[in-house]
Amino acid sequence: MDKSVGLHLWNQSREQWIGHKKLVNQPQQLREPKLNWNATYDSLFGSNKLFPMSIPLAEMVDFLMDFWELEGLYD
């Protein structure tokens, strides 16, 4: 498959996934964090239960980075 065809298909899939919201040069809305401020790694990942609500990727990455830094797992 030609690379341009693959890129076009990927872009189409991405548009369907994120929707057709084009927010160009608009600041992100501030929203309340979904994770509890005293959440622990074990409370989030200690079981195979689903989270009660979706957690934004940026928030989860921040949580994991903080945890890994505290544990000395990320420099």
Residue 61 confidence (pLDDT) = 92
Helix (H/G/I), strand (E/B), else coil: 32: coil
CA 26, 14, 44, 50 dihedral sign is positive
User: What pLDDT digit, counting tens, does each position of 27-71 carry?
Assistant: 666 778 888 878 888 888 898 988 888 888 889 999 999 999 988
Closest CA to 56 of 22, 31, 74, 37: 31
What pLDDT score was predicted for residue 22?
Answer: 57
Quote the pLDDT of residue 41: 87
Query: For residue 30, how far is the Cα from the chain centroid?
Result: 16
CA distance 53 to 9: 30
Residue 53: the pLDDT is: 84
